[in-house]
Amino acid sequence: MEGLVAGCLDCSRFEAEGSKTRLLTHHRIDAASGLVPYEAIIASFAHLSDLEAARYDGWVTASELSTGPNTESLGWQIARWTLRVGVCLQAIGAWRWLTGYDDTPIFEWLWLGEEGGGLGWSEAEALGLQRQVGWVALACGLLTLVRPSLLTTGPLVLVEAFIVYGTWKTDYGFTLHPVFIAPHWERWYPVAAHACRVFAPLGLMLVDPFWGFWRRGFRHQGGSEDATTIRSYLGMQLLRLAVAATFATHGMEAMLQRSTFVDLLIDSAQRLLHWDLPQSQAEQALFVIGVTDLLLAGACLLTRSRAVFLWMATWGAITAVSRVTAGGLEYHWHETLWRASHCCVPLALAMYWQVLRSRQK
């Protein structure tokens, strides 16, 4: 992106070395703001191997995309492996839940009749399909840890989306009905609450360099570095939105005194500290926690402070482990693993911003 020092440029040509395809994209680049138009990113997905450079508009400046992350740096490797581990642990937790229990939104949706929003399957059929989905999650999660690709992360996105859809159809797990949220908006709660788990595999698919057959076509092309920059930025911004949505939703639940969260505080205090925490104090603490979650969600979108993302990662780990501290390891370890992305995604974002900042310097 050299030469952006005066006024506006009218035209940029993208030409792949050794390729017959040329893509001529007319656009304007505002050097004063440093922001780059959106058209190039749309074209880049259709001709990814043919582009020598492509730029993305949306929290992205020309200087950031001209450098991109240093994919060989230790920080980038930590960010990439943090996402891999988080997605793998999440898949293991989903496997245990779907193969060992029948109180899942998938089972509820398959087994309930039409009056309950379900399909009316027999119990055996519903459990059979649910367990198959669980084994798919385990296999893809372990393979993702070794070599993520579309064939491993794609099914994990579908597994989490299946859980979300079952939750949405049966109103599973959401017992709050705030007066300030219209009923038709309230039904979107599962999408926001599960956003981090749904989009963690998708973000990894964009960020991680092992793209399988998607990557082989342009691995040694001149546009490879720019394509990596675009994919990594898209993936990280997607994860940024997802973790903000999850924290905001859980913050609202906490402020509204969801009974499950109150029980987590009381039971954890009893098991860890042998302290009978009064419910009134638990509710007060929960309100403060909810406000903090909402503030973190907003800060996640408005800043790139490592302190914010590290705080979110720490709190995500604490809330995930609270399932074990409240209910015991034997029956609740899978609930902790299933929420691994609540910690790993903000941690990966913190490392990513650090790598990008170091590269720009």
Between 83 and 230, the higher pLDDT residue: 83
Residue 291: per-residue pLDDT:
97
Mean pLDDT of 96-105: 93
The answer to whether residue 2 is domain-embedded is: no
Specify the length of the chain in residues. Answer: 361
Q: How many domains does the chain have?
A: 2
Mean pLDDT for 24-48 is 40
Query: 108-112, 169-173, 257-261: which range is least confident on average?
Result: 169-173
- Does any domain span residue 120? yes
Q: Which domain holds residue 25?
A: 8-67
Task: Please tell me the least confidently modeled range out of 22-31, 79-88, 123-132, 159-168.
Answer: 22-31
pLDDT > 90: what percent of the chain? 54
Q: Does residue 89 belong to any structural domain of this protein?
A: yes
Same domain flag for 219 and 351: yes
Domain termination residue (choose one: 67, 82, 112): 67
Q: Looking at residue 71, what is its pLDDT?
A: 66
Nearest 10 degrees: CA dihedral of 141, 142, 143, 148?
50
Question: Do 62 and 119 sit in the same domain of this protein?
Answer: no
Judge if 63 and 192 occupy the same domain: no
Residue 1 lies in a domain: no
Q: Which residue has the higher pLDDT, 306 or 67?
A: 306
Give the least confident one: 172-181, 211-220, 243-252, 338-347.
211-220
Q: Is 307 found in the same domain as 341?
A: yes
C-alpha closest to that of 159 among 26, 34, 334, 338: 338
Structural domain includes residue 157: yes
List the beta bridge partners of residue 8: 30
pLDDT above 70: residue 18: no
Could you tell me if 138 and 48 lie in one domain?
Answer: no
What secondary structure letter does DSSP report for 116?
G
pTM: 0.77
Average pLDDT over residues 107-136: 91
d(CA 158, CA 87): 13
State the chain's mean pLDDT as an integer.
79
Domain shared by 41 and 176, yes or no: no
Query: 312 CB contacts (<8 Å, ≥6 apart)?
Result: 243, 247, 296, 300, 346
pLDDT at 220: 40
Judgement on whether residues 185 and 328 belong to the same structural domain of the protein: yes
Is residue 271 situated within a structural domain? yes
Please say which residue of 50, 67, 84 terminates a domain.
67
Burial pattern 38-64, b for ≥16 Cβ within 10 A else e, equals: ebbbebbeebbbbbbbbbbbeebebeb
DSSP letters of 33-79? TTB--SHHHHHHHHSGGG-S-----SS-BHHHHHH---TTSHHHHHH
Residues 262 and 159 in one domain: yes
Residue 39 has pLDDT above 50, yes or no: no
Sign (positive or negative) of CA dihedral 306, 307, 308, 310: positive
> Angle 159-163-165 (CA atoms, 0-180°, nearest 5)?
110
On whether residue 287 sits in a domain, the answer given is yes
Q: Which of the given ranges, 48-52, 147-151, 269-273, has the highest pLDDT on average?
A: 269-273
Q: Are residues 44 and 140 in the same domain?
A: no
Residue with the bigger pLDDT between 224 and 105: it is: 105
User: In this structure, is residue 3 part of a structural domain?
Assistant: no
Residue-wise pLDDT tens digits, 169-206: 887 655 566 666 666 677 778 889 999 999 999 999 99
> Residue 88: what pLDDT?
98
Lowest-confidence pick of 23-32, 186-195, 337-346: 23-32
Place 226 in a pLDDT band, splitting at 50, 70 and 90: low
Residues 95 and 29 in one domain: no
- Answer yes or no: do 79 and 28 share one domain: no
Q: 11 falls in which pLDDT band (50, 70, 90)?
A: very low
Chosen domain end from 24, 46, 67: 67
Q: Which residue has the tokens 């459990």?
A: 127
Do 161 and 61 have their domain in common?
no
